[in-house]
A and B are shown apart, each in its own frame.
Chain A
Amino acid sequence: MVAPVSPGLDARLRLDRAGFELAVEVDVPAGSTLALLGPNGAGKSTVVEVLAGLVALDEGHIRLGSTPLDDPARDVFVPAPQRRMGVVFQQYLLFEHLDVRDNVAFGPACRGRSRRAARNQVEQWLEGFELQALADRRPSALSGGQAQRVALARALAAEPDMVLLDEPLAAVDIEARAGLRRLLARHLGEFTGPRLLITHDPVDALLLADQVLVIEHGRPTQRGSPEEIRRHPATRYVAALAGTNLLTGTNDRGHVRIDEPAITLITADTTISGPVVVTIEPAAVALHATRPEGSPRNTWATTVAAIEPLGDINRIVLDQPVPLLADITPAATTALELAAGVPVWVSVKATEVDVRSR
């Protein structure tokens, strides 16, 4: 079966509210996930509201394929019920008076499905999200992770043309996050329309998004692949937010075999085994002119690929064998005589190699 070609999102958002101005372009091709990254108050939730049709634009346009959804200049406004935007809200917003099954069935019932077709479809969604055992529960009897699975199933069961995920993992406890992220990756991968993921967690952006758009104070500051954003942050905020070194690998009693490149890092954390996300803060990466002595367990020689000045610190981009970012002071940069192509020794303490299940 050939899936129908889904249209992409083309949005130019302009909104003026008391003390807040949103001016951002959001383009998401079909079958692609854009992560919208930004601090609190950046206007991320406002983007969800205007795309979902809960708030009207002042200027600009929202088009899904060739269908205009909002265009003040041409007096077009498609209200929320007719937009087919599948929204997953941060606080789930499940209907407490309905059980899990009826929450998932809410969308199909609104779309005027026959009762029988709707019921079969709902059972399939419950199965896909491993919710059959919870089908008769009320939302208040669910854990955060379970509730978010229901919210996702409910949004997708309404057969949306696009999905909007507002901080889908933020309210979920750490233990449930990795499993939910895997589930999210799988279902987002199967969804043929455009996907917009709102997050403040660079790990989510790396593992779930094809492109990242950073907004601050209602305006875009950078757009690129997660890798580009991390390696060449345009602002200090992006550097702090997305600048964490992220690697994926497998932990075996403190020895993390990195997937790419094939090296092994030592971590102090021996409690987590199996597939992990490794994070190393750039400030925790030490650089030396000669081979370091003493306790650091992770040490290797490399060369400087580039230097990104970020105000009071320099971000040193390192290449082979491990792509890493290191933040050091301009004084240290001068002392080590660093420049592109200069050989340097890297060391990272085992306690600074942070691992989390993925």
Chain B
Amino acid sequence: MTSPPRRVTGRAPVPLVVFGGLGALLFIVPLVGLLGRTPWSELTELLSSDTVLDALRISLVSSVAAAALSVVFGVPLAWLLSRGSFPGRGLLRAIVTLPMVLPPVVGGAALLFALGRRGLVGEPLYDATGLVLPFSIWGVILANTFVAMPFLVISVEAALDGIDRRYEQAASTLGASRSHVFRHVTIPMIGPALRAGAILAWARALGEFGATVTFAGNLQGRTQSLPLAVFVTLESDRDAAVAISLVLVVLALMVLLVLRDRWWSRP
């Protein structure tokens, strides 16, 4: 029979408890405020309005598409940043991670100047194909990818930097070509970081507001995602705004639960 281990850590220092507790309140109080303000009896009705259902559809489609695009383009980009040797690699890394620091509105404006109908790339694109990115779902997806992909890139690049490259060498001595090594050894080895990066990118895309509203506008049924719907209804229909906010809180909590084992719990 074993007795439970005796506590040897002692009491936490008082200043840490005070400041840490105040820090925690910053996150707890708004959540309680939101839940306290929620019109529970009318919730079903509020959430089944066209505005909410359209916004939910646009948010899910654009955030999942942005996460997928982030994986498709972000993994090779992370590989180039980690393994490539070319001039300006450090500068490229800075530019790629810029959207994490930049106010999203500025990012949206930059996208507009470049890809808007009169933009640097947007005008020839429109002349050649008739495709207009702003004020369409494609614009929402592009804006979301712009803000979300850096999260995937830094997660995957750090994992690529951290893996033991001798495993890749072992694979090459067994006859594996470089692309075979990448697909069958490198990708599985960075699997956890890739999954975490993809979910983080998805979460960032789901919450995206500034770049979307600047580049794609706020058209209900076309470009109005959940965060935009919250902002609009806050003026006109406060109950609806609270209900939509609750949807976002639930979605965010689901992500945290999925990531729980990989990220938030300690070994």
- Residues of A bordering B, CB below 8 Å: 52-54, 79-87, 89, 91, 93, 95-98, 106-107, 110-111, 154-155, 158
Contact = CB atoms under 8 A, between A and B. Distances in A.
Contact of B174 (A53, A79, A96, A106): A106
B174 A158 contact: yes
Interface stretch (B51-59, B162-170, B201-209): B162-170
Contact of A110 (B175, B188, B189): B175
B191 interface: yes
A106 B176 contact: yes
B166 A107 contact: no
Contacts of A158: 173-175
Nearest to B170: A93
A86 B173 contact: yes
A97 B174 contact: no
Contact of B172 (A54, A86, A96): A54
B170 A87 contact: yes
A84 B188 contact: no
A333 B175 CA distance: 57
B172 A107 contact: no
B172 A155 contact: no
Nearest to B166: A93
Contacts of A54: 169, 172-173
Interface of B: 166-167, 169-178, 180, 184-185, 188-189, 191
A97 B188 contact: yes
A79 B171 CA distance: 12
A107 B189 contact: no
Contacts of B178: 81
Given A54-B169, A80-B169, A110-B180, A97 B175 contact: no
Contacts of A80: 169, 172-173
Contacts of B177: 81, 110
B188 A107 contact: no
Contact of B175 (A93, A95, A98, A111): A111
Contacts of A93: 166-167, 170
A84 B166 contact: no
Nearest to A106: B174
Nearest to A48: B173
A98 B174 CA distance: 15
B170 A81 contact: no
B185 A107 contact: no
Contacts of A97: 188-189, 191
Given A97-B189, A97-B191, A89 B174 contact: no
30 contacts: A52-B169, A52-B173, A53-B172, A53-B173, A54-B169, A54-B172, A54-B173, A80-B172, A80-B173, A81-B172, A81-B176, A81-B178, A87-B170, A91-B166, A93-B170, A95-B188, A96-B189, A97-B189, A97-B191, A98-B188, A106-B174, A106-B176, A107-B175, A110-B176, A110-B177, A110-B180, A155-B174, A158-B173, A158-B174, A158-B175
A123 B193 CA distance: 34
A85 to B, nearest CB: 6
Contacts of A155: 173-174
Contact of B170 (A53, A82, A89, A111): A89
Residue among B170, B176, B178, B185 with the most chain A CB within 10 A? Answer: B170
A155 B173 CA distance: 8
- Cβ-closest 4 pairs across A and B: A110-B175, A97-B188, A80-B172, A107-B174
A80 B167 CA distance: 13
Nearest to B189: A97
Contacts of A91: 166
Contacts of B191: 97
Contacts of B170: 87, 89, 93
Nearest to B171: A106
B172 to A, nearest CB: 4
Nearest to A92: B170
A96 B164 CA distance: 12
A82 B177 CA distance: 9
Residue among B172, B185, B188 with the most chain A CB within 10 A? Answer: B172
A88 B253 CA distance: 47
Nearest to A55: B169
A22 B167 CA distance: 25
A155 B170 CA distance: 9
Given A97-B188, A97-B189, A110-B180, A83 B173 contact: yes
A151 B175 CA distance: 15
Residue among A83, A85, A91, A110 with the most chain B CB within 10 A? Answer: A110
A79 B175 CA distance: 10
Contact of B166 (A53, A83, A89): A89
B188 A87 contact: no
Contacts of A53: 172-173
Contacts of A84: 175
